[in-house]
Amino acid sequence: MLGWEGIERRKVDRVFIRIPVVYEFADSQAKKPINVRVKVVFLETIGTNSFGAGCVFMGIDELDQKEISSLVERLDITKLLKMAIDKHASDLHLVAEQPLVMRINGELEFMEGQIIHADEIAQLVFSLMNKEQIRVFAREKEVDFGIQYDMKTRFRVNVHKQRGFVEAALRLIESKDFSFEELRIPQVVQDLARNKDGLILITGPTGSGKTTTIGAIVGLINKERKAVIITLERPIEYIHPNIKSVVKQREVGVDTNSFSAALKSSLRQDPNVIVVGEMDDLETIKTALIAAEAGYLVIGTFHAPDVIQAIDRLVSMFPIENRRQLLGQLSNCLRGVVAQLLVPSKDRKTRLLASEVLVATDAVKRIVRKDELFQLATIMQTGAGYKMQSMTDAIRKLVESGEIDTETAMFFSEEFGKYAL
């Protein structure tokens, strides 16, 4: 597509246009014009005074053809995606004027090879985006979306700007039916998933496996219950076929405008289970609590490092004068909170899940209602009979099994450091 400005719009029988075609190579010392003969095959109006032309290349010099072929191959995003898959990377970063960066087993690695130039990144990521996504990016300066690489693998893509340059972060998602045992999610999380109503919070920092855990929970419900499951996601990551349940997956930005609007609408869609991908604003949290109290099972993710901070931060998003009321609501509908970390194994070849689990027993509900959250740490340490555990306990078990070393344990848990000393 070639665009140009300033052509007067009028009805004509025939138009003769001379179009100079120039391609600028970012890695050349001097910009080299490439002369080609093209045939215009269609014209398109793309604005009030803007037009586009679709062209077929009729003649290109052999040397120029080789340069163009080399550039096209260099700007093939599918090769970069395959490289990330082959190296078992969790994330792929496209950073201006830097080599390719991947996160492998939790560690950043800079790939050897050519520098990726700023204008090349724009061409790479725009090739993944549709017109609407490009328009959103132009307006908002950032956009999230998902792409299906093949039948087994998807990527969650965030395109953003940094110092004026277009850059991107791509999260690799294997579309696999993970079992709780394979993921090493505690058995108690399965028990929580079997609740018919109430609120379950899955919390942890970015990249701690929250989405994968929720995917496993939805899969479990889908296999065991006849239910309507509505998931609100940005973007959709794991695809769930209907097994026993009807699973409706709605993507924010594609199927709905916001989590809060979609959550309100979902209450009129005969749901049994509602999954909220991001509980990050007051309106969404308020509606989630109402839904949980009304008899629906609501499963939501929240960014917080541990169970106690998850509850405190969630309630603190409301005005201080509403804190007591919100704690009362939360104590009524809360079923459990799971905080997650992914910690590197001793051989640094994989990462292991460490989970802190709070089950909403009568004692826990009373503590939440009275705003005595500091007591929850003791409850988790002594709540083994209810399958509760603290993060320190989870990490200690990994050390005792020889799967992680003491240095890693002390890095991820200050309390373990005190215990080890």
Span 19-54, pLDDT tens digits: 444 444 444 434 566 677 777 887 776 656 666 777
What length is written for the chain? Answer: 421
What DSSP assignment string belongs to 328-362? HHHHHHEEEEEEEEEEE-TTSSSEEEEEEEEE--H
Contacts of residue 385, defined as CB under 8 A and 6 or more positions apart, other chains included, come to none
The span from the CA of 367 to the CA of 244, in Å, is: 37
How far, in Å, CA of 318 to CA of 333, rounded?
17
Tell me how far apart the alpha carbons of residues 222 and 415 are, in angstroms, rounded to a whole number: 38
pLDDT at site 253: 82
pLDDT for the residue numbered 76: 84
Beta carbons of 200 and 301 less than 8 angstroms apart = no
Q: Which amino acid is at 321?
A: E
What is the SS3 assignment for 288? helix
> Given this model, what pLDDT does residue 359 score?
98
Q: Which domains does the chain have, with CATH numbers?
A: 2-72 (no CATH), 75-174 (3.30.450.90), 180-420 (3.40.50.300)
Query: Residue 53 class from Cβ within 10 Å (0-12 exposed, 13-18 middle, 19+ buried)?
Result: middle
pLDDT of residue 14: 47
pTM: 0.74
Distance between CA atoms of 299 and 289, rounded to whole angstroms?
11
CB 225 within 8 A of CB 272: yes
Token representation of residue 70: 């080399």
Residues of the chain with pLDDT under 70: 1-34, 45-51, 66-74, 416-421
Separation of alpha carbons 302 and 293, rounded Å:
19
pLDDT on residue 12 = 41
pLDDT of residue 50: 63
Residue whose tokens read 């693998």: 153
Q: Edge to edge, what strands does the sheet with 351-359 contain? A: 246-251, 228-233, 273-276, 297-302, 198-203, 334-344, 351-359
DSSP E strands in 8-105: the ranges are: 36-45, 50-60, 91-94, 101-104
